[in-house]
Structure 1
Amino acid sequence: MLPAILDLLPALEPFGALAVLVGSCVGLMPRRNLLLAASALCSGLFCIHFLRLGSSTGAAMCVISLLQSLAATRIEGGGRPAWLGGFFALTCAAAAALTVATWTGWPSALAGTGALLAAAARLQPDIQRMRLLLLACSGAWIGHNIVVGSVFGLTCDVLSVSSVLLALWTTAREEAQRAPAGSVPA
């Protein structure tokens, strides 16, 4: 019995497990800055996890994600600092260059696509639009995680998609309840 349990230890990789724990909560965060902070932490944990799996593109995209998430916390009330557009352009160019530099076929294409969709999401001042783009981003990462065999990544993606869908539905329902009777939503 003990040897069978010991054979499972590599699969119980702690960084992937912690990333799942944090990532499953990201979509439910009630405020943009909390969503972005949780996303940054999740990205850092997944970076280590992907390095351990040998997915260098996945790890590189997680570093880009961490930096962008932290920078995007500077967007408040629809206003952006002047430097943010340049920073995102630079990090998106870095994501493209790193995707090419670490190219391994489908895993790299999917991780790079996920990173660019996530960048677009982070630039959204509206949390609902951010969540919609995060759904598209999750689709690319689901593909990546299937191809590289990341059970933790795939688990986190399924939980993230579920939490984002729940948050989208809850917010839409709350907005519909607040709208005056007979009005048409914008």
Structure 2
Amino acid sequence: MTSLTILSTDLPLAPVFGLVGLAGQLTWPLLRQRQSILTAQIGIAGCYATQYALMDQWSGMGVCLVGATQSTIALLAGDKPWLSRMGFAFIPVALILAYLTWCGLPSLLATSACCLIMLGRMQRDILRMRAVMLTASPFGIGYDLSVGALAGLTGAILSFAIGAAALRREWISRQRAMVAA
């Protein structure tokens, strides 16, 4: 039994971090600026990484930390495309972590969700960013189902619904702008 397992049985911290991550996950799709979205995702990834670690779900923890690091670099990159493209370097890191923490289907689902989200973060266009990130939702939902992360599952489902509505809002706004121009 690891010290994190002992800690998680003495203090129910995993659900607390999961609920904080859930709050962030419900908020980020409502944000309209790339910088705000990335900042929120750093916090969300940190909370979920802690939750998964307390649950002994190392693949989930690993990909969350890789995602948080990639979000930080994407945020710092700003308008520097060359620095933004460094995000591609994190995909092999996520794959290596999946290999090192392999536990079957959960590892596959966590890594798939992480890689799709990372590809989304590298998009400069907010509409494209949202669309690519939404493709990760079924994998995140599957992961949370497979490991029993109720807060993460709730967040993944609700975030998908809110994200789809935000994508629709962006699409309509863009269409109106094109007609007006």
Establish whether residue 71 from structure 1 lines up as the match of residue 73 from structure 2.
yes
**Structure 1 equivalent of residue 96 of structure 2:** 97
**Structure 1 equivalent of residue 8 of structure 2:** none
**Structure 2 equivalent of residue 30 of structure 1:** 32
CA offset digits 1:164-185 (Å, max 9, x no partner): 111111122222333337x9xx
Rg larger for? 1
Alignment length, in residue pairs? 171
**Structure 1 equivalent of residue 43 of structure 2:** 41
1:90 CA drift (Å): 3.0
**Structure 2 equivalent of residue 153 of structure 1:** 152
CA offset digits 1:8-54 (Å, max 9, x no partner): x8498210010000111111111001000001100000000011122
After TM superposition, the structure 1 = structure 2 runs for residues 33-182 of structure 1, keeping only pairs within 5 Å, are: 33-77=35-79, 79-80=80-81, 82-85=82-85, 87-180=86-179
Query: Alignment identity in percent?
Result: 26
RMSD: 1.9
**Cα separation, 2, equivalents of 1:40 and 1:11:** 19
**Cα separation, 1, equivalents of 2:88 and 2:123:** 15
Q: Could you tell me whether the CA contact under 8 Å between 2:14 and 2:50 is conserved in 1?
A: no
| 2:49 counterpart letter in structure 1 | C
**Cα separation, 1, equivalents of 2:124 and 2:67:** 17
In structure 2, the CA distance between the partners of 1:174 and 1:148, relative to structure 1 (3 Å rule), is: same
**Cα separation, 1, equivalents of 2:75 and 2:166:** 20
> What is the TM-score normalised by the length of structure 2?
0.87
Unaligned runs of 5+ in 1: 1-8
SS in 2 for 1:179: helix
SS in 2 for 1:169: helix
Unaligned runs of 5+ in 2: 1-10
Structure with the higher fraction of residues in helix conformation: 2
**Cα separation, 1, equivalents of 2:88 and 2:169:** 33
Q: Could you tell me whether the CA contact under 8 Å between 1:107 and 1:148 is conserved in 2?
A: yes
